[in-house]
Amino acid sequence: MEADRMDPQAKAVVDRRAWISMPKHRYALKCFRLLSRPVSWLRNRNVPSVGRTVDGTVPGPAGDVDVRLYLPDADGPFPTVVFFHGGGFVIGSIASHDWFCRHLTRESGCAVLSVGYRLAPEHPFPAAVEDCYAALEWAAEHPDAIAGDGRLAVAGDSAGGTLAAVTALMAAERDGPELDYQLLLYPSTGAKREHESVRTHAGIVLDEADLEWFRDCYYESEIDERNPYADPTNAGDVSGVAPATVLTAGFDPLRDGGRAYAEKLVRDGVPTRYENYADMPHGFLTMRGIDRAHDAIADVSDDLADAFGLAA
């Protein structure tokens, strides 16, 4: 499942980031978030161009939810991809994934609606799920507001990949918005301490303490952790969800959990493309300067374009 060695470009990025440790208590988390804002601003000074971006809000269950709409440089309307950022349900933002969303818009030809959902521990489960599903429902109900043609997909990376899978499950079970596709990028679905990928690769980008901290912040009880709308691997049947791409990374502690969910989708009859980038670490799609990241973004964008019938 992993290559003999990590891609040299990816390893260089991982090594440069090795001095950055995840916060493990609330004061450190507050500082981490504050520092992330100017870092994101600096990183986003030179980003790929798209046709237009629009910052706004959509109604959520506890107030307005921030969103950013990315539109292709073409005449609409467009299919819309509702995107949920990663960060362990604790960190991350619209700004942290701006570069990726711009590439996804350019490569897929779709509009991308990036959602700034509420974060734990201030807002534990199910706050993020509620915000994300509310944003999806709003997008389905207001296509004209987002230059949409009514066709929808969900996408997300890491924790956001889990949120995308959960919103797809909710839409299927609640007779909600009709989805054409779901794009799950190294999702945190079904991650277990006993997985070989955790035992072997914890410490590369994410260590076991990080995973435990994120889990403790997001879930208030074991009952929450076993809820299918927290982790769709707990669902008895996912046969009604949209077709999927599930992408994992060979040197990722979350790899085996993502693969297990892809296998569950296949067992339940959901058309699924699974791909493991054997020489990549967790989070590689947002690591700039990695050639394989650009290739992977192009590949998953092609999946979206194919699902929507946009491919040439």
Mean of pLDDT values over 108-117: 98
Mean of pLDDT values over 22-38: 78
Mean of pLDDT values over 22-27: 75
Mean of pLDDT values over 47-73: 97
With bands split at pLDDT 50, 70 and 90, how would you rate the model's confidence at 311? low
Catalytic residues, by residue number, are 158, 252, 282
Q: What is the pTM assigned to this prediction?
A: 0.96
Count of structural domains within the chain: 1
Q: Give domain status of residue 2, yes or no.
A: no
Peptide bond into 177 cis (omega under 30): no
Q: How confident is the prediction for the chain on average, in pLDDT?
A: 94
* Residue 252 to residues 59, 205, 208, 255, 261, Cα–Cα distance (Å): 35, 8, 12, 5, 15
C-beta atoms surrounding 310 within 10 Å:
17
C-beta atoms surrounding 109 within 10 Å:
18
Q: Give domain status of residue 297, yes or no.
A: yes
What CATH number does the domain containing 140 carry? Answer: 3.40.50.1820
Q: Over 90: is that where the pLDDT of 25 sits?
A: no
With bands split at pLDDT 50, 70 and 90, how would you rate the model's confidence at 17? confident
Q: Give domain status of residue 3, yes or no.
A: no
Element at 265 (helix H, strand E): helix 255-267
Q: Give domain status of residue 152, yes or no.
A: yes
Element at 71 (helix H, strand E): strand 63-71
Q: Give domain status of residue 176, yes or no.
A: yes
Mean of pLDDT values over 217-246: 96
Mean of pLDDT values over 14-21: 84
pLDDT digits (tens, 9 = 90+) for 288-310: 889 999 999 999 999 999 999 98
With bands split at pLDDT 50, 70 and 90, how would you rate the model's confidence at 38? confident
Q: Over 90: is that where the pLDDT of 174 sits?
A: yes
pLDDT score for 34: 82
Q: Give domain status of residue 79, yes or no.
A: yes
Tell me which of 18 and 161 has the higher pLDDT. Answer: 161
pLDDT score for 232: 98
Interatomic CA distance for residues 285 and 238, integer angstroms: 27
Q: Over 60: is that where the pLDDT of 247 sits?
A: yes
Least confident of 23-32, 122-131, 219-228: 23-32
pLDDT score for 284: 97
Mean of pLDDT values over 54-67: 98
Peptide bond into 126 cis (omega under 30): yes
Q: Give domain status of residue 75, yes or no.
A: yes
Q: Per the structure block, which two tokens stand in for 196?
A: 């070989």
Compute the half-sphere exposure of residue 245: CA atoms within 13 Å on the CB side of its CA: 23
Domain coverage including residue 131: 8-308
Q: Per the structure block, which two tokens stand in for 161?
A: 């990949």
Interatomic CA distance for residues 3 and 5, integer angstroms: 5
Q: Over 80: is that where the pLDDT of 23 sits?
A: no
Interatomic CA distance for residues 281 and 264, integer angstroms: 23
pLDDT score for 92: 94
Q: Give domain status of residue 1, yes or no.
A: no
